[in-house]
């Protein structure tokens, strides 16, 4: 026993002493926006309600030339996007002028579960599947709900299967960097805006929530599927976006919703923005 204690003393005695000042604690939380919890009435008169919204987020990081990152939060959590109270995503430590980055992805075996999320949810999201856009991958986001107008009811149950979304250079409260001071805790509040799936523009500050183009895609059974959205040409979709390297291959309303809007249901605060990049299995970019 004495030999073990002596060896341990030698080991820890050789470790370098961290002389840096105490860092700031940065807590990342996520909660449902009121529009996700209570629903929203669209500009064209549909009352949308969300029955289930589940997201897998984490991989939080502090970056920047003037940022001294002490510890990131590389783990992920599956969270219920309809919970009003802030739920913990991760805890980071750092000092200086920092930028915030995060990730969304398919769950793995060690992904943590938040309030209202079950092992069955985790198993479903980890199980590989396919849709018109992705093949043999799990699920990152789930959005299920309905829309009603004048006695007509449409339902939707959509899964976003892209296995990695990066949110970089996030602008929070109008600022791309935020100052972290010694022992001064900071909270970054992420919100889930499921209504972003029905925006007619990518920029939430310029977008209007509309459901008519979605409803028109229905084949008559009252259930709007992602497959049906791929049958609607962009010319008939009443949406607007700039054509660039990310969007140049979009041809249908399905492309606009899946590639463009689905990653945007999670954002910092009510009006925060991030630079987003999606990655296919194997590491290649998705356009």
Tell me the pLDDT tens digit for each residue of 109-135.
999 999 999 999 999 999 999 999 999
Supply the pLDDT for residue 247: 85
pLDDT band at 18 (very low <50, low <70, confident <90, very high): low
Work out the average pLDDT over 127-150. 97
Q: What pLDDT is attached to residue 287?
A: 35
The owner of tokens 């607007």 is 240
232 occurs within a structural domain:
no
> Does some domain include residue 36?
yes
Contact predicate 47/41, CB 8 Å: yes
Residue 1 CA to residue 93 CA, distance in Å, equals 36
The partner residues of 62 in beta bridges, in order of sequence, read 100
Residue 2 has pLDDT above 90, yes or no: no
pLDDT, residue 146, reads: 99
Q: What is the mean pLDDT of residues 77-87?
A: 98
Say how many domains are in the chain: 1
User: Which stretch of 4-13, 24-33, 108-117, 215-224 has the lowest confidence by average pLDDT?
Assistant: 4-13
- Percent of the chain predicted with pLDDT > 70: 91
- Whether the CB-CB separation of 207 and 200 falls below 8 Å is answered with yes
Res. 278 pLDDT band, cuts 50 70 90: confident
* 9 in any annotated domain: no
pLDDT (mean) for 50-75:
96
* pLDDT over 70 (residue 244): yes
Quick one: which H or E segment has residue 7? helix 2-13
| Residue 84 vs residues 31, 53, 124, 189: alpha-carbon distances, Å | 5, 12, 24, 12
**For the residues 88-111, what does the mean pLDDT come to?**
97
**pLDDT of residue 281 exceeding 90:** no
Question: Mean pLDDT score of the chain, rounded to an integer?
Answer: 91
pLDDT computed for residue 270 by the predictor: 81
Question: What H or E segment, with its residue span, contains residue 119?
Answer: helix 119-126
Inform me whether the pLDDT recorded for 286 exceeds 50.
Answer: no
What is the pLDDT at residue 280?
61
More confident site: 5 or 153:
153
Range of the domain at 271: 21-194+263-279
Q: What is the pLDDT of residue 140?
A: 98
Flag whether pLDDT at 97 surpasses 50: yes
Q: What local confidence, expressed as pLDDT, does residue 271 receive?
A: 82
Q: Which residues, in sequence order, are bridge partners of residue 68? A: 95
Average the pLDDT over 151-179 and give the result. 94
Average pLDDT over residues 231-250: 86
- State the pLDDT at residue 246: 78
In a domain, 268, yes or no: yes
> What's the pLDDT at 7?
53
Asked if residue 15 has pLDDT above 70, the reply is no
DSSP 145: E
């Amino acid at each position: 026993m004495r030999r073990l204690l002596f060896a341990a003393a030698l080991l820890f005695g050789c470790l370098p002493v961290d002389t840096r000042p105490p860092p700031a604690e940065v807590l990342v939380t996520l909660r449902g926006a009121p529009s996700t919890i209570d629903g929203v009435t669209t500009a064209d008169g549909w009352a949308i309600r969300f029955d289930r919204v589940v997201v897998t987020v984490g991989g939080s990081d502090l970056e920047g030339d003037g940022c001294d990152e002490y510890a990131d939060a590389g783990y992920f959590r599956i969270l219920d996007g309809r919970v009003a109270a802030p739920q913990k995503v991760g805890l980071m430590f750092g000092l200086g002028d920092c930028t915030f980055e995060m990730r969304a992805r398919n769950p793995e075996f060690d992904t943590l579960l938040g309030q209202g999320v079950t092992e069955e949810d985790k198993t479903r999201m980890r199980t590989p599947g396919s849709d018109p856009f992705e093949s043999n991958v799990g699920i990152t986001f789930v959005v299920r709900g309905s829309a009603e107008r004048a006695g007509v009811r449409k339902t939707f149950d959509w899964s976003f299967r892209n296995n990695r979304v990066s949110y970089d250079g996030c602008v929070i409260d109008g600022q791309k960097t935020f100052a972290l001071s010694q022992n001064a805790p900071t909270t970054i509040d992420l919100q889930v805006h499921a209504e972003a799936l029905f925006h007619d523009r990518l920029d939430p500050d310029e977008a209007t929530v509309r459901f008519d183009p979605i409803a028109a895609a229905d084949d008559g059974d009252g259930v709007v599927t992602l497959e049906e959205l791929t049958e609607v040409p962009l010319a008939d979709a009443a949406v607007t976006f700039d054509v660039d390297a990310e969007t140049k291959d979009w041809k249908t309303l399905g492309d606009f919703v899946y590639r463009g809007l689905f990653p945007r249901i999670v954002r910092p605060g009510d009006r925060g923005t991030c630079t987003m990049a999606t990655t296919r299995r194997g590491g290649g970019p998705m356009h």
